[in-house]
Structure 1
Amino acid sequence: MDRRQKIVFARRAAAAQLAKLPGVVKAALSDGRRSDAVQPLPEAPPDSRLTRQAVAVAESAYGGELYQHSLRCWYFGVAFARLDDLRFDAEALYITTLLHDIALTERYRPAPGQSPCFAVHGGAVAREQLSTWGATAELANLVGEAITLHMDVTVDPAQGVEAHLLHAAAHLDVAGSRIGDLPRPMVAAILRAHPRDGFTDAFLAAMRREARERPDSRAAVMWKQGLRIPVAMNPLNRYGAK
């Protein structure tokens, strides 16, 4: 981004964060972390030739922290879809959640100066992988675009339902956005199945590196604005504490 684009992006990001703050604070002060109510997980992810290939790439490329994050994003995305009555392609959403941070890994991350943004590069990697696996161009482009968009301040369903759900899910897991919209027992069940152990530190380390290596990126603007604060304040950091 050029200077003007960074200023506009920073203003939009700040406004969005302020709008989310009351809900995050309310959730942080609630007793949701101690909920013992039992609620099943949202629906299990789909099993297909393409999803199995995406799982294999994710398992081999990610550390445990980012891999569990990708799985939580599937469940959070499905939960938001049910809440907001949005129809989605399950295979596309699952592959998107699995691969959305692939460019943060040592295997796939771009060298400094190679790409303007890890999400843009990750979208290109996902398109290439899916094409290699024999996916349709429509699916490859849908997944690639959703991954590219997930670092935007907002993603409207009109830009793609799967992109919107990935954005909502990832921003919940990272910073607690919309946490008050989901049933606490469901959130607790997701975190029990896919714990957040070490995720906050791993994510912040990745964003710190992105800000250093790609200073004109969306990640860099967010980092300079104090991304560490909403990440550290995320009520999910305390869910399940006994």
Structure 2
Amino acid sequence: MKKTIAGIELPDGAMAQAATDWIRGTESELMFHHSLRAFLFGALTGHREKLTFNAELLYVAAMFHNVGLNVKYQRSPYRFEVDGANAARDFLRQHVVVDRLIDEVWAAIALHTTPGIPEHMSPLVALVSAGVQMDVRGARHDEFTVQQCDEIVQAFPRESGFKKKIIEAYARGMEHRPETTFGTVNADVLDRWDPNYRRLNFCGLVLGSEWSN
């Protein structure tokens, strides 16, 4: 694996290597490459905005951010983001990371699909979300140079049909627990994927509650 891409050095310490091996052995190449690109876009954002962040923790968070979509979690009662955050927490504890930093990684993964919140939190939380959102939906695409994007995609290619394939990956990771998508962008995924899915409506829940008025 090339160590420096678009000016960003890929962490290669023992913990980063263990995270790479863990994810490479459990996720598809499509999702593995997505995680690597998310790290690179997040790190580039951090350097551009002159933020102070731990690159190895950003890398681990990017590696684990979609773990909750794995088939082993399909009956989980939690949002897939929470399952991924919990898996990262267990991994970091094995590597004797201090609780404060573990909590930060947990929040970064748990909130990476929640619009409007991560950017107001710590750099790590903000950058995980920024990297993921750039790779998935092109958020702030114009703030990256053509050369940066080309280098990243050349190193870790976007498969043909990536847009549809990643939506399918999200859907398959959540279709067995549709109730966990309430109030999140995940409801949009199932709404497009499953013709029988009916999203909950907050106003309907309020008006239909057991309260008399």
Do they fold alike, i.e. is TM over 0.5?
Answer: yes
Q: Which residue does the alignment assign to 1:221?
A: 187
Shift of 1:55: 1.0
CA contact (8 A) 1:212 1:220 kept: no
Counterpart code for 2:178: P
Shift of 1:50: 1.3
Q: Matches of residues 59-98 of structure 1 in structure 2 within 5 Å?
A: 59-98=24-63
1:187 aligns with 2:152: no
Q: Which residue does the alignment assign to 1:131?
A: 93
Q: In structure 1, which of residues 154, 158, 172 is the aligned counterpart of residue 116 of structure 2?
A: 154
1:206 aligns with 2:164: no
Shift of 1:47: 2.0
The percent identity for this pair of structures is: 24
Q: For 2:11 and 2:171, locate their aligned partners in 1 and report how far apart those are by CA, in whole Å.
A: 34
Q: Tell me: CA distance 1:61–1:76, structure 2 relative to 1, closer, same or farther (3 Å).
A: same
Q: For 1:186 and 1:200, locate their aligned partners in 2 and report how far apart those are by CA, in whole Å.
A: 20
TM-score, normalising length: structure 1: 0.70
Shift of 1:110: 1.4
Q: For 1:161 and 1:202, locate their aligned partners in 2 and report how far apart those are by CA, in whole Å.
A: 29
Q: For 2:9 and 2:77, locate their aligned partners in 1 and report how far apart those are by CA, in whole Å.
A: 34
Q: Tell me: CA distance 1:156–1:99, structure 2 relative to 1, closer, same or farther (3 Å).
A: closer
CA contact (8 A) 2:108 2:118 kept: no
CA contact (8 A) 2:178 2:190 kept: no
Counterpart code for 1:163: V
| Unaligned segments of structure 2, at least 5 residues | 194-213
Shift of 1:74: 1.2
Q: For 1:204 and 1:195, locate their aligned partners in 2 and report how far apart those are by CA, in whole Å.
A: 17
RMSD: 2.0
Q: In structure 2, which of residues 49, 56, 69 is the aligned counterpart of residue 104 of structure 1?
A: 69
1:58 aligns with 2:23: yes
Q: Which residue does the alignment assign to 1:118?
A: 80
Q: Tell me: CA distance 1:104–1:195, structure 2 relative to 1, closer, same or farther (3 Å).
A: same
Shift of 1:116: 2.6
Q: For 2:138 and 2:97, locate their aligned partners in 1 and report how far apart those are by CA, in whole Å.
A: 33
Q: Tell me: CA distance 1:79–1:116, structure 2 relative to 1, closer, same or farther (3 Å).
A: same
2:60 aligned counterpart, secondary structure: helix
Q: Tell me: CA distance 1:206–1:168, structure 2 relative to 1, closer, same or farther (3 Å).
A: same
Counterpart code for 1:81: G
